[in-house]
Each structure stands twice: as C-alpha cells, then as structure tokens.
A = this chain, B = another copy of it.
C-alpha cells in the first residue's frame, strides 16, 4: 500500500513537471479550430484528473487496472488479422479486443502523458488503414448488413465508436499528414460503409442504428466534419427504405421512415425512460447513446442533448437500474440473457454519466462502489470524488411503474417490491424485433433468486459452439412463444397469432398502478387484441400481512370471451417439487404436448385432475419454500411439463412448469396466491416454516365492475381483496354489497378484514 501511494505521488509529480511542456505544445496548436481531446476526455478534464491522481482510490485503482491491461497488450504486440470469423471466432474476438485496447491506450496517453501509448495507438491505426483501404465485404454472409472488419455492420460500428475516442486522444500527437491518411483511407470510408452504403442498417430506429449513428457522429466530432455529424443526428438525407422490409430478427427495417440519433432517442424511450426492447438491449444500446451524448455535450453544448425529450437519456438510466433484481441482474424481458447485470461495463458508463451530468444522486455512488470501477474521464472523476467525500447512500429500489412507447401510451412494465419479494409485470408493447408474445406475463424473485421464472432468450451470446453465438432457432420456436411465459395461452396459439406485424400494432393498457400503501402494491392491466374476441385482465398484488412470514403474491387473471376456449395457465417454478394437493399420475413415456407454437418443446411429466376448489403445490428452491394456491374447477387439468422436447442440439434448459388447463371455458377467472416461506439449509438440516399459511382462497364476487377474493389463513383470519375492473382511478368512489355486507372505499382497490 505504501509503495503504491509513493508510486502515485511520483506519477503526480511527473505529470506536474510534464504539464507545462504539454501546455506549450497545446498552445502552439491553438490556431486549430478544435481542441483535442474534446469528445469524452476534455482538456480541462485531463487537468483535473491529473491534479487528483493518487488521492481518489476508486479512480486510481481503475487507472492502475487499465494500465496493467494495456501494458500487457503492448507487450504482446499488435495483431490486425484479415477478417474471416463469426462472433466468438478468432478474428472477431481480436478486432473486438483491439477496439477496447485502442480506446484505453488513448486515455492512458492523455492521463499519464506517456508517448508509448500514443505510439501504440498510431501504429495499430496505421495497420488498420493499410488493411482497410483494400478490404472487401466480410466473407461471412449471414447478416442483412455485412461489415468489413466484422460479419455485421453492427460490430463495425462498435469499433468506430471506441476508436473515435482513441483517435481524439492522439489527434495532436499525429502529424497533419498522418491524420489525413487515416481520415481519407480509414475513418471516412469506414463511416460511409456503415451509413450510406448500408442504409438498411443505418437508416432505422433500432439499437443497431443507434450504434451506427453514434459511430458516424463520434468520428464526425473528432474530424470536425459537419456532414457526418448531421448524418449522425438526422440520418442519411434523402434515403427512404421500403417500409415493409424486415431484418434478420423479423423486425421491420423502417416502418415509419424515421432515422438518426435524435429519432433513436425519440422513439424507443418512453417519457419514463423505459426502452422498448427491454433492459438487456437497453444496456447494449446505452453505451452509444451516452458516449455520443457526452461527446455532443462537450463539443456542441448548444444542442443540450441531456435535456432532449425532457432529459430522457438520464431518466432511462434510472429506469434501467430499477429493472434489475436485488443482485443487480437485469430482468430478462424479451430477448434478454440472464446474468447480464449492472456490473457490465456499459453500466459503469451509464452510472458515471448519470451522476455527473444528472443530479448527483448519492444512490448512484453505492452502485459505482459495487461496480468497483469508474470511467477514466470527467464523469468518473466526479464519482470517485463523490465516494471519497462520503456522499454515498444506498440505491433504494421501490415499486415502480414505467410506461412504454414514445409518448408513454403503449403499456408498460411494473415492478412490485416489498421486502425481498419482487414481481415484474409486463404489459408493454411488442418490444421491436426482440419482443416476445407475452402479454400480461410476470416473473417473481426473492432476494435476487428467480422463483417463477421468465425463460429469457434461447441463445448463448458469443459462444461460437452454439450457433455461432447468435440466436438459436429455438428462440423463435420456444422463447418468444406465449406458452413459454407465465400468462394465458388460448387454444394453443400465441398472442397475436405469434405475428410480429399484428403484435406491433397493439399493446395492453394499464388499469391502475398503486404503490402508496406500503403493505399493498398492486398493478392491473388489460389486453384485448392478443386473441380477438377475448379480453384478458390481470391484477397482481404483493401483500404484506402480519399473519404471514413474508409478503405474498395475489394474482387475478380474468378472461372474458365471446366463445368457448381452452386456456393454458403455466407457472414456471424453479426448484424441486415438495408436495401436491392433487393426485398426480405419470405417463409411461414422455410425449410432446403439441406440435407447434412452443408446445412441441414441452414434455408432459405428470397429469392430474383438480380434485378440490383449491389446488395446492409447494416446492423448494435454493433453501426457501414456496406454495402456490390456486382456485380450480372440476375438470381442470394439472400438467407437470418440462422443457426440452424437439431440441436436438440441447439448446434449451430442462426446466419445469405446473400448468393449469381449463377447457371449454368462455368467461373465467384464474386466481392464485404464491407464498414464499421458511428456509432450509443442508448444513443445519432443519426445515423452518415449510408449510403454507393459506387455508382457503375463494372468489366471492366477479362482475364486469369488480372482482373480490377472500384469502383465509390458517389462523382463520380472512382478508377480502376487491379490485375495480373499470372506473379504477385513485379518485373513484365505490360502494358494493357482498353477502349482505356493504363495502365503501375510494380508489382502485380495497384490502379489508372480512368478519
């Protein structure tokens, strides 16, 4: 420790001695139109950083880690191979690594003022220049928009977003001739390839295009090229795509003709900052949004980019952080890979920028501290100083409702939270090409562990052995289908018939969201287009009741249809079956449940008829007990299913569900409670509170206007939950008589004793 401190002091000393010289050099170039660095690092920022070095632990450690990483790379030598592989293959991985290394080496040159880093960046850029000027399209042909360094323009854009920063850092180190060579043979044609030469990639509202726009804009800012900057902000002038064409993922290329960075902020973000593709893709898109915004803020402050659309970029970071579980893992809505979390480096960028350019929310400092890393720029410095000065507070995640759609009118996502229980309720719009057919579905977490899971995507991102690291066909045949989600599938068909065009037209509508009462958190939403002629109306609550150890979930799914249907209602529980209150029989051989719409991937492991008006099922997961209590009718079928049929490459996880199947029903209710209770550890081998506290669950009223559920616990105390199915505003006043007892209340719902 002492040694390190000494080392840093020495560094500071060296910087101070170098600074004057540096100033001189910079001043001699003051006749340049633009200073460098200017986009992410700024001249003043570099000064401040140097002045604080050695006294700001998290920054010093981040710098030291980057220095060690880059010194090792310099030691290993430069490699710029001829492109040939898909994701995960050698040339892909190497070029990907190079963009990271270039950006970091550029930053080190600025902060440490050591020419070896500048030289390294220059040498590698010159090798790229040499190769790029004669480089054909990438040999792999799978993409709708092939890149040159990579198989898809998307990755070429990633490269340019990072490498622009490196170029900015060594701009003044290069001679005018060197700059001219790089700009003419590398950067300008590179920017053109991903934009004017690839409009199907660039001219869209999509996370791919955001990367493309940012790439063109970043290099435009460094080169001070107004044409490129304009192209970045507003798209390619005069280019309009076929509005019915689709991309690789089945999404529309450009349905409404919008394009450019500003349109990409305008469209996918709701006023609450929810990103329409969900948190996994928001995390991916966040970096170009924020890094280009930072560049614009520094070079073109007059654009007031962080205030654009009422500050939605910074709001979106708050939304994103709130879409993570207790461990910081993002909820895997739509095509989301599980395990992606706010420890991802894009979120270091997001948290630091949000802190610095936003309102210095002290909660962000505790996330930054968990991340144990800051950006090596002005915003990272601000965070490091904030932590050093003891300004940190916990980032307190509460229940939150996030609207979806450019104007916040296309449904949304609600997260209900109480103690360690989190329920994610999805009533959002389609979510672009990465959306799933999962209207009104939910997932349930306890302390960061999944209890009732959302499957996520069927993809092993960047693992070459699994379909080149790209989407697997099971993503479409399983993961996107309705039956893969905790919602209703009608007649074994997915919502909107599993058609993107139809799904993109509609969205569920919020009935109400209520989080004022700290013991009762409720969300209610309706979907009328997923199955024409059928209305699905789901109300979900987390209720904290003194007679229960932990908050429990109440789930009311009300279905109204103009014809009789089969409704399948699965619970994708994780863990081991403990007990069922029904007689399960197992088939001799396992057969797929169906032949399409995801059913072909489900084996039936068990089958029962409901034998009671309350069906109970309990399971054990990661040392905790859970019990489902659900209202059933005679002839309701109970199926234990397991994922994995018709999966020749073992792309799917063999996980289970209990599925409630109700046939020949028109209007009907599925009412359930899910309790988390007790604990078990194999170390002590003692099972604590392993039984349900619910004695009975009963529907006492169900009309167009109201649904009332009585929940009786084992102490014989009954609570009545009445939800308003219509006229459900906070101000609405209700008067209702059930079994000769009158209930009057104001608001969306009431939870009351039932004596």
> Which A residues are closer than 8 A to B by beta carbons?
88, 93, 337-341, 343-345, 460-466, 469, 576-579, 584-586, 588-591, 603, 605-606, 618, 620, 640, 642, 644, 646-650, 653-654, 656, 680-687, 690
Q: How far is the CB of A307 from chain B (nearest CB, A)?
A: 31
CB distance from A623 to the nearest CB of B (A): 9
Across the interface, do B463 and A337 meet the contact criterion of CB distance under 8 Å? no
A654: chain B residues at CB < 8 Å are: 642, 654, 656
Contacts of A647 in B (CB 8 A): 586
- Chain B residue nearest to A339 (CB atoms) is B682
Closest CB pairs A-B (n = 7)? A339-B682, A577-B650, A590-B590, A465-B579, A465-B578, A589-B589, A461-B685
Q: Given A340-B682, A589-B590, do A687 and B464 touch, yes or no (CB 8 Å)?
A: yes
By beta carbon, the residue of chain B nearest A88 is: B687
Contacts of A605 in B (CB 8 A): 644, 650
Nearest opposing residue in chain B for A586, CB measure: B648
The answer on a CB contact under 8 Å between B465 and A618 is yes
Q: Is the CB of B578 within 8 A of A685?
A: no
A339 touches B681 (CB 8 A): yes
A640 and B648 within 8 A (CB) = no
- 9 CB contacts below 8 A, A to B, read A338-B682, A460-B620, A463-B620, A464-B690, A465-B579, A589-B591, A590-B603, A605-B644, A654-B654
Chain B residue numbers with a CB within 8 Å of A618 are: 465
- Who on chain B is nearest to A342 by CB? B683
* A591 smallest CB distance to B (angstroms): 5
| Chain B residues within an 8 Å CB radius of A578 | 460, 463, 465-466
Contact of A586 among B466, B646, B684 (CB under 8 A): B646
Contact B682 A461 (CB under 8 A): yes
Inter-chain CA distance A584–B462, complex, in Å, is 23
**Bound-state Cα–Cα, A647 to B642, Å:** 14
CB of A548 to closest CB in B, whole Å:
19
B642 adjacent to A344 (CB under 8 Å)? no
Q: Could you tell me if A687 and B339 are in contact, using CB atoms closer than 8 angstroms?
A: no
Q: In the complex, are the beta carbons of B683 and A343 less than 8 A apart?
A: yes
Are A690 and B576 CB-contacts (below 8 A) given A337-B685, A344-B684, A586-B646? no
- Does the CB pair A687–B650 fall under 8 Å? no
- Which residues of chain B are near A461, meaning CB under 8 Å? 682, 685
**A441 shortest CB reach to chain B, Å:** 22
Set B344, B589, B649, B687: member contacting A577, Cβ < 8 A: B649
Min CB distance, A587 to chain B, in Å?
A: 9
Collect the chain B residues with CB atoms within 8 Å of residue A344's CB: 683-684
A463 contacts B88, CB within 8 Å? no
Q: Within the complex, what minimum Cβ distance (angstroms) separates A608 from chain B?
A: 11
User: Which residues of B are found within 8 Å of A589, using beta-carbon distances?
Assistant: 589-591
Q: A93-B686, A338-B682, A463-B578 are in contact. List 14 more A-B contacts (CB 8 A).
A: A88-B687, A88-B690, A339-B682, A340-B685, A341-B683, A345-B684, A462-B686, A462-B687, A464-B690, A465-B618, A469-B687, A577-B649, A577-B650, A605-B650
A564, chain B: closest CB distance, angstroms? 30
B690 near A463 with CB under 8 A, answer yes
Residues on the B chain within 8 Å of A648, using CB: 584-586, 606
Residues of B within 8 A of A620 (CB): 460, 463
Query: CA A125 – CA B618 in complex, angstroms?
Result: 37
A428 to B93, CA, bound (A): 48
B680 & A463 in contact (Cβ 8 Å cutoff)? yes
Residues of B within 8 A of A591 (CB): 588-589
Considering the complex, give the chain B residue whose CB is closest to the CB of A466.
B578
Q: How far is the CB of A442 from chain B (nearest CB, A)?
A: 22
List the B side residues contacting A646 at CB < 8 Å: 586
**Bound Cα distance A466, B343 (Å):** 39
Name the distance in Å between A108's Cβ and chain B's nearest Cβ. Answer: 21
Min CB–CB distance A50 → chain B (angstroms):
30
A650–B642 Cα distance when bound, in Å, is 12
Contact of A683 with B339 at beta-carbon distance under 8 Å, contacts A466-B578, A590-B590, A605-B644 already known = yes
A327 to chain B, nearest CB (A): 11
Most chain B CB within 10 A, of A343, A590, A640, A686, is at: A590
Q: Give Cα A93 to B680, complex, Å.
A: 14
**In the bound complex, CA of A353 to CA of B341 (Å):** 45
User: Chain B residues near A586 (CB, 8 Å)?
Assistant: 646-648
Closest Cβ–Cβ distance, residue A551 to chain B (whole Å): 23
Contact residues in B for A584 (Cβ distance below 8 Å): 648-649
Cα distance A182–B653 when bound, in Å? Answer: 59
Smallest beta-carbon distance A333→chain B, Å: 15
- A603 nearest CB neighbor, chain B only: B590
User: Quick one: closest B residue to A644, CB to CB?
Assistant: B605
Contact A576 B650 (CB under 8 A): yes
A155 to chain B, nearest CB (A): 13
Choose among B93, B590, B603, B687 the residue that contacts A463 (Cβ–Cβ < 8 A). B687
CA distance A577 to B620 in the complex (A): 26
Closest to A347 in B: B683
- The CA-CA distance from A453 to B398 in the complex, in Å, is 41
Q: A646-B586, A648-B585, A690-B464 known; A576 and B653 CB under 8 Å?
A: yes
With a CB–CB cut-off of 8 A, which chain B residues contact A337?
Answer: 682, 685
What separation, in Å, do the CA atoms of A588 and B93 have in the docked complex? 38
Query: Closest chain B residue to A585 by CB distance?
Result: B648
A707 to chain B, nearest CB (A): 32
Of A345, A605, A653, A682, the most chain B CB neighbours within 10 A belong to A682
Provide the residues of chain B in CB contact with A684, threshold 8 Å: 344-345
Nearest-Cβ distance from residue A172 to partner chain B, whole angstroms: 32
A591 to B743, CA, bound (A): 56
Q: Which residues of chain B have C-beta atoms less than 8 A from A642's C-beta?
A: 654
Complexed CA–CA distance, A577 and B474 (Å): 15
| Complex contacts, A464 vs chain B, CB 8 Å | 687, 690
For residue A653, which residues in chain B have a CB less than 8 angstroms away from its CB? 576
Q: How far is the CB of A427 from chain B (nearest CB, A)?
A: 26
Q: In the bound complex, how far is the Cα of B655 from the Cα of A656, in angstroms?
A: 13
Q: How far is the CA of A656 from the CA of B642 in the complex (A)?
A: 14
